[in-house]
Structure 1
Amino acid sequence: MSLNIREVNPTLQKIAKDELNEDPSQIPQMLEQFREWIRKSPHLRARTDDQFLVSFLRGSKYSLERAKHKLDMFYTVRQHSPEFFKDRDPEKMNVHEYMKISAMFALPTSWSEGAPRVICSRSGGYDPAKYKIEDIMKCFMLVGDILHEEDDQMIISGQINIIDLKNASMAHFTAFSPQMMKKMTVMMQDASPFRLKAIHYINVPPFFEKMFNVFRQFLNEKTKSRIYMHGNDLESLYKVVPKHILPKEYGGDGDSVEDIVKYWEHKIYANRQFLIDQTTKYGVDEKKRIGKPKNPESLFGIDGTFRQLQID
Structure 2
Amino acid sequence: MIRPLPSELAKIAKDELNENPNQVANDLQHLKDWISKQPHLRARTDDQWLIALLRGSKFSLEKVKKKLDLYYTLRTTAPDLTLRIKPTDPKFIDFFRLGTCLILPKPKDKLIPRVILIRAGHYDASVYNVADVMCMFYYLVQILVMEDDVACVLGTKIVTDYSEVTMAHFMQGTPSMLKKMVAVCQDSMPLRLKGSHHINLPSGVEKVFVLVQGFLNEKAKKRLKIHKNPEELLEHIPKEIVPVEYGGTGGTIPELIEYWVAKFKEYHSWMKVEEQLGTDESKRLGPPVAADLMADGSFRKLDID
Output the TM-score relative to the length of structure 1: 0.88
Q: Which amino acid aligns with 2:187?
A: D
Tell whether the 8 Å contact from 1:200 to 1:229 is kept in structure 2 after alignment: yes
Match of 2:106 among 100, 105, 109: 109
CA 1:104–1:152 in 2, change beyond 3 Å: closer, same or farther? same
Structure-2 separation of matches of 1:68 and 1:238? 38
Corresponding residue of 1:310: none
Q: How far is 1:170 from its partner? A: 1.9
Q: Secondary structure at the match of 1:68?
A: helix
CA 1:123–1:81 in 2, change beyond 3 Å: closer, same or farther? same
Structure 2 residue runs without a partner (length 5+): 300-305
Q: Which amino acid aligns with 2:11?
A: K
Structure-2 separation of matches of 1:70 and 1:222? 21
Q: Which amino acid aligns with 1:248?
A: V
Q: How far is 1:133 from its partner? A: 2.5
Q: How far is 1:27 from its partner? A: 0.9
Tell whether the 8 Å contact from 2:100 to 2:123 is kept in structure 1 after alignment: no
Q: Secondary structure at the match of 1:200?
A: strand
Structure-2 separation of matches of 1:87 and 1:121? 18
CA 1:8–1:91 in 2, change beyond 3 Å: closer, same or farther? same
Structure-1 separation of matches of 2:220 and 2:166? 25
Corresponding residue of 1:189: 186
Match of 2:257 among 250, 258, 261: 261
Tell whether the 8 Å contact from 2:70 to 2:289 is kept in structure 1 after alignment: no
Q: Give the number of aligned pairs.
A: 299
Structure-2 separation of matches of 1:81 and 1:218? 22
Q: Which amino acid aligns with 2:278?
A: G
Deviation readout 1:190-249 (Å, 9 max, x if unpaired): 1012111110001111122233455556555543432110032x3322221122221111
Deviation readout 1:156-204 (Å, 9 max, x if unpaired): 1111111111111222111111111001111122101211111000111
CA 1:52–1:258 in 2, change beyond 3 Å: closer, same or farther? same
Q: Secondary structure at the match of 1:120?
A: strand
Match of 2:287 among 283, 292, 300: 292
Corresponding residue of 2:302: none
CA 1:212–1:302 in 2, change beyond 3 Å: closer, same or farther? farther
- Counting only pairs closer than 5 Å after superposition, residues 99-138 of structure 1 correspond to structure 2 as 99-110=96-107, 112-138=109-135
CA 1:58–1:231 in 2, change beyond 3 Å: closer, same or farther? same
Tell whether the 8 Å contact from 2:96 to 2:257 is kept in structure 1 after alignment: yes
Tell whether the 8 Å contact from 1:89 to 1:272 is kept in structure 2 after alignment: no
Tell whether the 8 Å contact from 1:38 to 1:46 is kept in structure 2 after alignment: yes
Tell whether the 8 Å contact from 2:82 to 2:134 is kept in structure 1 after alignment: no
Q: How far is 1:62 from its partner? A: 0.9
Output the TM-score relative to the length of structure 2: 0.90
Q: How far is 1:52 from its partner? A: 1.3
CA 1:237–1:258 in 2, change beyond 3 Å: closer, same or farther? same
CA 1:160–1:294 in 2, change beyond 3 Å: closer, same or farther? closer
CA 1:213–1:174 in 2, change beyond 3 Å: closer, same or farther? farther
Corresponding residue of 1:84: 81
Corresponding residue of 1:64: 61
Corresponding residue of 2:296: 302
RMSD: 2.1
Structure 1 residue runs without a partner (length 5+): 307-312
Deviation readout 1:35-79 (Å, 9 max, x if unpaired): 222222221111122211111111111111111111111111111
Q: Which amino acid aligns with 1:288?
A: K
Structure-1 separation of matches of 2:181 and 2:232? 27
Structure-1 separation of matches of 2:283 and 2:227? 47
